[in-house]
Amino acid sequence: MKKNVKKFFGDNPGLKIKPRELAHKLNYTDIEEYASLKEILYKLNKQGYLDRQGKRYFLALTTTDDLIGTFQLSREGTYGFVLLNEMNLKDVFIPEKYFNSAIQGDLVKVELLSKQRGKNLEGRIIEVVERKHTEVIGKLVKRKNVFFVYPDNNEIQTDIYIPNEFLNEAKSGDKVVVSEIKWDTNGLNPEGLITQILGKDGTYEVEQKLIMKQFSLPFEFSDKVNEQAAGINEAIPDNEIKRRIDLRDKNIFTIDPDDARDFDDAVSIEKLDDGNFELGIHIADVSHFIPKNSAIYKEAIDRATSVYLVGNVVPMLPEKLSNNICSLVPNRDRLTYSVIAKITPVGRVLNYKIAKTIINSKRRFTYEEAQQVLETGEGDFSAELLLLDKIAKILRSARIKKGSINFIRPEVKFELSDEGIPLSIKLKHIKDSNNLIEELMLLANQIVATHINKNFGNNPLPFVYRVHDEPEDEKILEFKRFVSSLGYNFNARTKNKSKELQKILDEVKDSPEAAVINEIAIRSMAKAIYSTDNIGHYGLGFKYYSHFTSPIRRFPDLITHKLLYKYLENDSAESYSLKELDNICNQSSAQERNAVSAERLSVKLKQIEFLKDKIGYEYDAIISGVTNFGMFIQVSENLAEGLIKLRDMQDDYYIFDEMHYSIVGRTSKQRYRLGDRVKVKLQRVDEERQEVDFILMKN
C-alpha cells in the first residue's frame, strides 16, 4: 500500500487531496484498508515525504521534479502565481525576488522551495521556457535623454529601454512596435528594437492599428487575393441560372442594422392554399465564388471571421465579394443557398428543401424600419412582415419551453465624428424585428444540421457543428450561491437546469440586478465552439445545430455550404477529410475568441475616450464586481466600466465579504453587494492604462 501511495503522489506532484478521496482513487474500499491508508499518510508526513495542509490534505512537495506552467502576475506586481499545466495541481506562489525576469503570460519552469510557509505552495522560477510577448506595442517617451517604450498592455509592468541606435527614426510620442526584446538584463529594463512606427499617439487611425496589431488582425489583403477577387465576374451565366430554383419574382427582402455593409441573409413568406406557409431563408452563396485552396479560400481560413471594431470592419473576404457580388443588395440578381420550409400556423415544420437558388431582393429594411411596420401595420411588405413576426414569436416560445436559454447581454452603439471621436453612446434596444431575424436564422441552422444527421445517420459524414457543452456542476452551484445571496431560489439539483436558469432570468428581467445575473449566468456556461463531434447545443436546447446563415463573415458557414452541396448533390469536385475539418473547427473557434476580445477592447477604448472630458459628472451605475481592493461598477447609460477603490471610501473601513459577493463597513455594517444600484462620480480617466476611477456618492 505504501508503494502505491508514494507512486500516486510521485505521478501527481503537488496534488491536494483528502484521504477518503485518495482511498477512492486507489480503490481501497475496506474500512481496515482506509485505516491503514491514513496511518501511512501520517507516517509519510512525519518522514517529510508528504506535507500537510489543513486537517485532511496531503501534498507531495520537496520530492517534485521541475514543474511547467503559466506565470500570472498579481495586480500589485509584487508577487505572482504559476498556474501549473498538470491537472489538479495547485498554483505555486512566487515572491517578487524569484520572478527571474518572467512577466505575465510567460511559460515558465518552477521548482518548489524546500521550506513551505502559509497555505500556498511556494516556489521560484528557474527558467522562462517560452515568452508570451515577442512584440510589444507602446508609446515612445524620452526621459533624461534616454528613450523608453511604455507598453499599452497592462500585463507588461515594465518599460522597454530603446538604445538610440535602435530608434529607427521614431520620435518621442510615437506609437511603436518593439521586437527582438532582451528580457534578461540583470535587473535592468528589458532592451528592444523599434521595428514599426504606427503613428502619433491619440489618433483614431493609430488606435485601430493598435488593436489590430495586438490581436494579429491583418491590415490588408495580399496582392494575390486582391487579383483573384478582381478577376471574379459579377455577371451570372444563363447555365448557372438554369441549375437553380428561380425565386426572382418572390417578395424577398433583407433586414439588417442601419450601418450594415454586407447583407448575407434574406427572408420571404407566402400563405399556401392549404392554410400553411412557405417560409424562405435565403443565404448568400459565397461558396460558389471561392474554390477550395484558392488564394481567397486560404485567406478566409486564416481570418475565419470578420471582426467588427468600433467604426471599422476587418472583413473575412475582400470587399468586392463581401459588399458587392455576394451581398444581397436590393434590385440585383444574386446567387443564394435557400432553406424553404412548409410551416403550420403554430410553427411546426412539415417539410423543407435545401436548394441552390437565385433571388432579387425587393427591399433593404433596417431593423428600425421593419419595427415601424410591425408597430403600425403599414408600409412595404407589411403583410409578410407581420406574418414573419407571428411565426418567429411562436418559434421563440416553443424553443424556450423546450429548454433554450434566452440570455440578455446589453450592447452599445457609438456615434463617431469624421475623426473617429465618440460623440455619443447609446444602448442598443432589441425589438421584435431583431428577434424575428434571429429566430429564422436559428431555424435554418437547425434544419441544415438535422438534415445531415437524419439523412445520413447510418453513415455519418464529416460535418461542422456549432456545439455547446453542458455547464460544470461547480459553476452551476456557484451561480446558485450567487442568486441565493440576492434572495432568489434556484434548484441546482434539477435534471433540466436550462429551464431552471431561464426561470431565474425571467424572474429578474425587470430588476436592477438583471444585467449582473445574466452576466454571471453566461460565465457559468461552457463556451460554444465549432466541432465535427456533435454533442448538441445546450444553451439553445438543440440536438443538432450548425452555422449556415452568415458565410460572408464566418468561415464555418462557408464550409457548411460546401459540405451541403457535396453531400446533397453528390459533388466530387471538392473533398474534405475529418482531420481537415477538425483543423478548420479549431482555427475558427480560436479566431472567434480572438475577434471577441478585439471587439471588446475596441468598445472599452471608445468608452474611456468618451469619458475623458467628463471628470466630475455623476452617473447611475450597477456594482458589477467586488474584490478585496474595491468595487467595479458599470454606468447604466453607456455601459462604461470603472473602479471604486476601497481606500477612497472614507466613511468607514470596508471589508471584502467573498461569501456574500459584497463589501461591508466594519463600523456601520453598510453593505454594498454585486448587482446593487449606486450613484457615482467620475474621478479619474487614464487612457494609456485603460483605467477609469469613480467615487461613491451618498445613496
Q: Band the pLDDT of 60: cuts 50, 70, 90.
A: low
Backbone dihedral angles phi then psi of residue 426, each to the nearest 5 degrees: -125, 150
Mean pLDDT in the chain? 90
Q: Band the pLDDT of 87: cuts 50, 70, 90.
A: very low
Cell of 38: 491514513
What are the chain's domains?
A: 2-60 (1.10.10), 67-130 (2.40.50.700), 136-201 (2.40.50.700), 223-391 (no CATH), 433-603 (no CATH), 612-696 (2.40.50.140)
Least confident of 144-153, 452-461, 499-508, 574-583: 452-461
Q: What is the pLDDT of residues 278-312, one digit of tens each?
A: 999 999 999 999 999 999 999 999 999 999 999 99
Residue pair 502/400 in contact by the 8 Å Cβ criterion: yes
Decide which of 91 and 181 is more confident: 181
pLDDT over 70 (residue 29):
yes
Q: What is the pLDDT of residues 560-605, one digit of tens each?
A: 999 999 998 877 778 899 999 999 999 999 999 999 999 999 999 9
pLDDT over 70 (residue 21):
yes
Least confident of 565-579, 619-633, 674-688: 565-579
CA distances from 207 to 198, 215, 217 (A): 9, 13, 13
- Region 65-93: mean pLDDT is 78
Cell of 565: 452541396
Q: Write down the pLDDT at residue 282.
A: 99
Using CA atoms, how far apart are residues 96 and 119, in angstroms rounded to an integer? Answer: 18
CB atoms closer than 10 angstroms to residue 386: 14
pLDDT over 90 (residue 451):
yes
DSSP β-ladder status, 245-246 and 349-360: parallel
Radius of gyration for the alpha carbons in the chain, expressed in angstroms and rounded: 29
- Region 373-391: mean pLDDT is 97
- Region 518-533: mean pLDDT is 93
168 sits in the region (left: phi over 0; alpha: psi -120 to 50; else beta) called left
Q: What is the DSSP letter of 544?
A: S
- AA identity, residue 518: N
Q: Write down the pLDDT at residue 553.
A: 97
Residue pair 69/84 in contact by the 8 Å Cβ criterion: yes
Question: Which residues have C-beta within 8 Å of that of residue 494, sequence separation ≥ 6?
Answer: 500
Cell of 345: 400556423
pLDDT over 70 (residue 53):
no
Q: What is the DSSP letter of 325?
A: I
- Region 460-470: mean pLDDT is 92
Q: Write down the pLDDT at residue 105.
A: 86
pLDDT over 70 (residue 10):
no
Q: Write down the pLDDT at residue 667.
A: 94
Residue pair 404/419 in contact by the 8 Å Cβ criterion: no
